[in-house]
């Protein structure tokens, strides 16, 4: 096996490319949208949004849920509702999409990045306490790529130091930690309904919590700081909102909420297929040298939002990715080492594990409708690239 310094010469792309991801949606979602059109209520915070919220509350066994226009908005509103103030420090898992760190900046607070475990790519609890300072206000841990974080130890650390714990479960609807659903941990948890997630409505987010005051504030802040129009229309008087504080327009339309509710009803089916695909990948990749399949600790169940292999040295991850794409196979990096991103200022955090995963992770096609035959083609193509002299 040779080190790959250039894109290998391989067969022309297949006329049937295999994407990195593809939403699983069909007639049931279309019917739900048609029903919303007939209802006349297409705006946010309406009856379909309420139904989606109820579904996520059941999934996580939380007392409250709020549907929002995306997970970044959910992160922002969660941080503000948890009392994050300008000048605070918030510990953030370093291996994540930048939205996690951006939301802290939205509050004029400082994200302090904490390195992750090499096996799960999630925040390493053993490194958290050393990062705590008198300015630390809370912890934002991430279910990286759908893999649940160490919620037991993280909750204990947060409790002991009087910090809030925010669970970024953007990728992990359907995942489990210690027998409990992802999103059931922390003071607040947030989910994404982006098109790449296990369930989707294109764009969307949901926040869940057991704190009634937080839920009330999030719903108000998502609607410019006022009660929703849907709630006000049933009043016996003419309620005229006032605006004592700054709010935002973070509502999820009922059109998208209806799609999300249908998808949520299919979550078990979608997750079951993803687990089968993950198992097949692991079995087939065992024979491909230099390509290391992800592992799952026995106390958790991944949602497999992303299937990211580790490309071992001396193989070059980027060259393999270019070759896969040239063959019609979708692929990408896993996610980002946040401390490396210029938006957060000079790289002052030492996160070698996250940095290595950022350089070595390769995401392969993963979606519920991926066929066995297409998955076989993915691995066969990958193996040819690796073995090519």
Q: Per-residue pLDDT tens for 302-322?
A: 999 999 999 999 999 999 999
Stretch 261-281: mean pLDDT, rounded? 98
| Tokens found for residue 14 | 């297949």
| Tokens found for residue 229 | 């129009």
With residues binned 3-state (H G I as helix, E B as strand, rest as coil), the percentages for the chain, rounded to 5, are: 40, 20, 45
Note the pLDDT of residue 8: 46
Alpha helices in the chain (DSSP H): 27-39, 47-60, 71-81, 99-106, 125-131, 151-161, 212-221, 229-232, 254-265, 267-285, 317-326, 352-360, 372-387
pTM for this structure? 0.93
- What is each CA distance from 185 to 52, 98, 165, 332, 360, in whole angstroms? 20, 22, 8, 29, 30
Q: Which of 197, 217, 274, 360 is catalytic?
A: 197
Q: Is 384 a catalytic residue?
A: no
Kindly state the percentage of the chain with pLDDT values over 70. Answer: 94
Whether the pLDDT of residue 21 is over 70: the answer is yes
Predicted confidence band at 237 (pLDDT cuts at 50, 70, 90)? Answer: confident
Note the pLDDT of residue 12: 55
pLDDT digits (tens, 9 = 90+) for 351-369: 999 999 999 999 999 999 9
Stretch 211-229: mean pLDDT, rounded? 90
Note the pLDDT of residue 13: 52
Specify the long-range contacts of residues 318-324, CB closer than 8 Å, at least 24 apart.
319/4, 319/5, 319/6, 319/7, 319/8, 320/4, 320/362, 320/382, 320/385, 320/386, 321/362, 322/7, 323/4, 323/7, 323/8, 323/10, 323/385, 324/381, 324/382, 324/385
Q: Which residues contact 170 (CB under 8 A, 6 or more apart)?
A: 71, 97, 99, 142, 143, 190, 191, 192, 194, 197, 205
Whether the pLDDT of residue 3 is over 60: the answer is no
Stretch 214-220: mean pLDDT, rounded? 96
Cα gap 8→310, rounded to integer Å: 20
Predicted confidence band at 14 (pLDDT cuts at 50, 70, 90)? Answer: low
């Amino acid at each position: 096996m040779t080190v790959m310094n250039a894109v290998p010469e391989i067969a022309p792309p297949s006329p049937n490319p295999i994407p990195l991801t593809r939403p699983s949606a069909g007639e049931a979602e279309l019917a739900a949208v048609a029903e919303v059109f007939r209802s006349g209520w297409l705006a946010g915070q309406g009856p379909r949004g309420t139904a989606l919220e109820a579904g996520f509350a059941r999934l996580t066994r939380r007392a409250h849920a709020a549907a929002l226009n995306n997970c970044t908005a959910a992160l922002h509103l969660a941080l503000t509702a948890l009392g994050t103030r300008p000048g605070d420090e918030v510990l953030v898992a370093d291996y994540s999409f930048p939205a996690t760190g951006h939301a802290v900046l939205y509050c004029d607070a400082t994200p302090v990045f904490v390195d992750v475990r090499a096996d799960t790519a999630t925040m390493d609890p053993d490194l958290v306490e050393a990062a705590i300072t008198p300015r630390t206000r809370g912890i934002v841990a991430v279910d990286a790529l759908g893999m649940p974080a160490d919620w037991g130890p993280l909750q204990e650390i947060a409790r002991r130091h009087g910090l809030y714990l925010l669970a970024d479960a953007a990728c992990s609807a359907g995942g489990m930690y210690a027998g409990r659903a992802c999103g059931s941990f922390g003071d607040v948890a947030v989910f994404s309904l982006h098109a790449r997630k296990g369930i989707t409505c294109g764009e969307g987010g949901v926040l869940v919590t057991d704190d009634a005051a937080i839920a009330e504030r999030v719903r108000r802040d998502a609607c410019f700081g006022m009660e929703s129009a849907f709630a006000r229309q049933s009043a016996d008087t003419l309620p005229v909102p006032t605006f004592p504080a700054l709010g935002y327009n973070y509502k999820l339309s009922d059109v998208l909420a209806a799609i999300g509710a249908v998808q949520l009803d299919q979550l078990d089916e979608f997750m079951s297929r993803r687990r089968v695909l993950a198992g097949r990948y692991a079995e087939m990749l065992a024979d491909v040298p230099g390509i290391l399949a992800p592992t799952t600790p026995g106390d958790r169940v991944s949602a497999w939002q992303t299937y990211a292999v580790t490309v071992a040295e001396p193989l070059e991850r980027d060259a393999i990715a270019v070759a896969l794409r040239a063959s019609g196979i979708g692929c990408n990096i896993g996610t980002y080492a946040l401390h490396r991103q210029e938006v957060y200022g000079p790289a002052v955090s030492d996160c070698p594990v996250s940095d290595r995963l950022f350089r070595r992770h390769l995401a392969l096609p993963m979606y519920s409708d991926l066929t066995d035959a297409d998955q076989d083609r993915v691995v066969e193509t990958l193996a040819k690239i690796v073995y090519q002299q």
